Structure 1
């Protein structure tokens, strides 16, 4: 069943916000995970990237994330099938899908943006990298435009 990690944010002076996610420098997507069979929530945050494939026990398939629930002992999987997509600046902020995931037997219930993000200056060629969104907001200065830039009012959601 497809799941989507969505973001809604107030972008000032920047656009094309996305995780820094290349094969050489993969972004580790960090979530709280819950078993859909017994509703057990894993006690720790889990992280995975879209380039790493893990074997699924008892199957010929592979997935980005394989988890065996401690309570019901079922094995569940998730893979990133689309994305990451850039969040563009717009007049009225609205939610947009960053990644699409194929989740089987599990659901992600919370996201933690603990990695580097990047964005581009609006109307300038400035590239901002190493953006940290863990605090829920980010501020910088676009030298080429002589303006402050920011990302505020960030809301993460996981939808099905």
Structure 2
């Protein structure tokens, strides 16, 4: 078992709190990425889609996972289980400091997630409080905030997976 932390950042213009539409733990938000087999190193040609609300039984086990899939090259089976309650919105302050915000933790067995793809289903609010639904499929977003009387935008979206370390502090579990 390896835990992977998905982090993301973007350049935010007059915007803050970029996150999936239902929050960072939205059970219906679709995570889209490619997988690399830990056995043979094969990278999936197509992107894999994972949501928290979908679970499937793990073969020859009593447990479930959000994804069970076989490698097309070597046939080895792998699983991915999402670990909620560790995500946070990307704020304007973090964006200006070029810091990454935590989005989701994935417990992976047999696969390594790579190349996260941004898509539709994001929400962000302007510095004046107006909420916008954002489709980041094209890697950017631009609108005009009538209330704040200013342009708003998202550009240079980036995401990365890194091996996460579990940290217990003051009775709370976090991943770094």
TM-score with structure 2 length normalisation?
0.83
**Per-residue deviation, 1:84:** 4.2
CA distance in 2, matches of 1:8, 1:118: 14
| Mapped pair 1:96 → 2:101 | yes
CA distance in 2, matches of 1:16, 1:79: 26
Give matches, 1:1-160, under 5 Å. Answer: 1-21=2-22, 22-23=26-27, 26-82=28-84, 83-90=86-93, 91-122=96-127, 124-129=128-133, 131-160=134-163
Deviations 1:84-126 (A, max 9, x none): 431111141211211111111101111111222101111x221
Count of paired positions:
156
Structure 2 unpaired stretches of 5+: 164-176
CA distance in 2, matches of 1:134, 1:115: 6
Deviations 1:113-143 (A, max 9, x none): 1222101111x221111x1112221111111
2:147 partner SS: coil
CA distance in 2, matches of 1:58, 1:78: 16
CA distance in 1, matches of 2:137, 2:70: 28
Runs of 4+ in 1 over 3 A off after TM superposition: none
CA distance in 1, matches of 2:74, 2:18: 39
Structure 1 unpaired stretches of 5+: none
TM-score with structure 1 length normalisation?
0.91
CA distance in 1, matches of 2:5, 2:108: 10
